[in-house]
Amino acid sequence: MIRKKENQTGAIVIDLTGPDGNAYALMAYATRFAKQIGCQQTEIDRIIKEMTSGDYENLLQVFDYEFGDFVILER
């Protein structure tokens, strides 16, 4: 079935159980979102470094801390 694209309103939802939930995808999202909100490259580098400084749960916590105001992570 093909349908018209609807405008997204509200928070962005990322399904962690799908392909968007892997660490590399989340780091790519973090980079994209940081650029969209006007972060400088040094700030983006800091976020990615913090995300990769621990395990997957740490990555999720940092992502949620930085972008949780407009992104919902679903398990």
Q: Does residue 6 carry a pLDDT above 80?
A: no
CA torsion angle 72 18 20 60 (round to 10)? 50
Domain-located, residue 17: yes
pLDDT in tens, 34-66: 999 999 999 999 999 999 999 999 999 999 999
What integer best gives the mean pLDDT of the chain? 93
Residue 29, domain member (yes or no) = yes
Task: Count the domains in the chain.
Answer: 1
- Tokens 């490259």, residue? 41
Is 28 a domain residue? yes
Q: Is residue 6 part of a domain?
A: no
How confident is the model at residue 10, as a pLDDT?
81
Residue 3 falls within a domain, yes or no? no
* 5 within domain boundaries: no
- The alpha-helical segments, DSSP class H, found in 1-75 are 23-36, 41-51, 56-67
Name the residue range of residue 39's domain. 12-74
**pLDDT at site 19:** 95
Kindly report the pTM of this predicted structure: 0.88
